Chains A and B, each alone.
Chain A
Amino acid sequence: MLEAVPAYRLARGVRLRLSDDGGELLVPEGIVSLSESAAAILELVDGRRDQAAIAAMLAERFEAPVAELSRDVAELLAALIERGFVQC
């Protein structure tokens, strides 16, 4: 079945490593440092959730406006898709 909205997933060989102050994306022969908010977004990238679902969950967790979070999510995911670390 075709999905109307794209779900996001980490690309093959990309792994998220969480730490107290954010985390890191481990990629082929490389490490990408993540801020706390970037790590929180990527924690929700599971191959099933779309952008709206991720933003909604963050809004609930951080008690922040969805619109603002939605923008952050879109920005981060676009940048990581460009680098081949996230797919949708």
Chain B
Amino acid sequence: MLSPAQPRSLLCELTYRCNLQCPYCYNPLDLGSSRDELDADAWLRVIDEAAALGVVQFGFSGGEPTLRRDLLVRAIARVTELGGYANLITQGTFLDEAYLAELLAAGLAHVQISIQAPGAELAAIIAGTDVHERKLAALRMIAQSDVALTLNCVLHRLNHDTLPEVLAFAEREGVRRLELANVQFYGWAYKNRGALMPTREQVRSGAALVAQASERLRGRMDITYVLPDYFEELPKPCMHGWGQLALTVTPDGRILPCPAAAAIATLRFPNVRDMSLERAWHVSEAFTAYRGTDWMPDPCRSCDRREIDWGGCRCQAFLLTGNAAATDPACAKSPDHALVEAFRDAAADAAFVPRRPSTLRQAQGDKLRA
């Protein structure tokens, strides 16, 4: 299929490093080494190339992007200079007045800040460290600044029952945009799926609660509730189609069609160290493999939703079936749909593995054995 004219959004994952250990992180299990991180000049070149290609929405994420302070400020300034829009996706624990002022001066437009739970105790269990008060301070500081703010809380089995308190918290803090996203099972979340899978009852009551709150808070708070697609009959239209609108560049320079795509072991991804974004977008195998509808097997190929759902999610198809070109098993029409049911039924109240670099796990393991 002909490549679409232009991508509109780029997610820049500046680092995989993070002081939190959330067990649902979508980052790869192999977090790599900070020595492999792209330097500032490489990132500025990526931003220039993206803007030339048509990107206007730039996201800065990680890991925790604020850990690369000088780079982050310069990158946002470059985005602003090029007429783009800079979003920062952060957990907020490194922000103070001076840092935020630098980001604002560079032209930052929007901050999405996360909480793990509405209360400190549960938040510390999920994040593996007690930073709730620091997050709260950052949230309030951003709310008073001249930048748009979205509060994000990833929902899963361990915190789903606190949904009423999350809503009350957001209302109390005067949040205008609230994103309640049920965990998506990639990266660490896939590894921890048993412990994180919400119950059917949690999902059912959650959707009802959010619908009520949205009605009550209309005009004051905009609430997005992302359903877990294992509980639906239709797959999500992942990324609005593979290679249609968006690019992600990882801390080590890989160019991906979606933030979770590195999990697809059968694809080779280009790297900004040796390929331009333009070439990656238009001709690389990774971007053209599942673009459009030509690659589709049945039931997608003959489905009248093929240009609505785009076959669902390639990463999920790969993780569950080993074949990235399969129909997303989340779809009820998929011949592999039973995998999703088994996946759902594997849920249990169980321990999870915190997200940590393997060297740290290794070090702790050594200590335990010593």
Q: Of residues A12, A24, A30, which shows the largest number of chain B Cβ atoms within 10 Å of its Cβ?
A: A12
Count CB-based A-B contacts (< 8 Å): 44
Query: Given A13-B110, A17-B56, A84-B222, are A28 and B83 neighbors across the interface (CB < 8 Å)?
Result: no
A3 to B177, CA, bound (A): 28
Complex contacts, B148 vs chain A, CB 8 Å: 11-14, 27-28
Give CA–CA (A17, B82) in the complex, Å: 11
Tell me whether A64 is interfacial, beta carbon within 8 Å. no
Instruction: Kindly identify which residue among A24, A29, A82 contacts B87, using a CB–CB cutoff of 8 Å.
Output: A29
CB of A49 closer than 8 Å to a CB of B: no
B57 close to A31 (CB less than 8 A): yes
Asked if A31 and B8 make an inter-chain contact with CB atoms under 8 angstroms apart, the answer reads yes
Interface residues on chain A, size class:
10 to 19
Question: Nearest B residue to A17 by beta-carbon distance?
Answer: B83
Q: What residues of A have a CB within 8 angstroms of the CB of B110 in the complex? A: 13, 28-29
Within 8 A of A (CB), among B199-239: 219, 222
**Nearest CB on B from A8, distance (A):** 16
Per-residue CB proximity of A59-77 to B under 8 Å, as 1/0?
0000000000000000000
* Residue from A11, A15, A28 having most chain B Cβ neighbours under 10 A: A28
Q: What are 7 inter-chain pairs, A to B, with CB distance below 8 A?
A: A13-B147, A24-B56, A26-B84, A28-B87, A28-B150, A29-B110, A29-B150
- Given contact pairs A26-B56, A26-B109, A28-B148, a sample of 14 additional A-B residue pairs in the complex whose CB atoms are under 8 Å apart: A12-B146, A13-B147, A15-B109, A17-B56, A17-B83, A28-B87, A28-B109, A28-B177, A29-B9, A29-B110, A31-B8, A31-B56, A31-B57, A84-B176
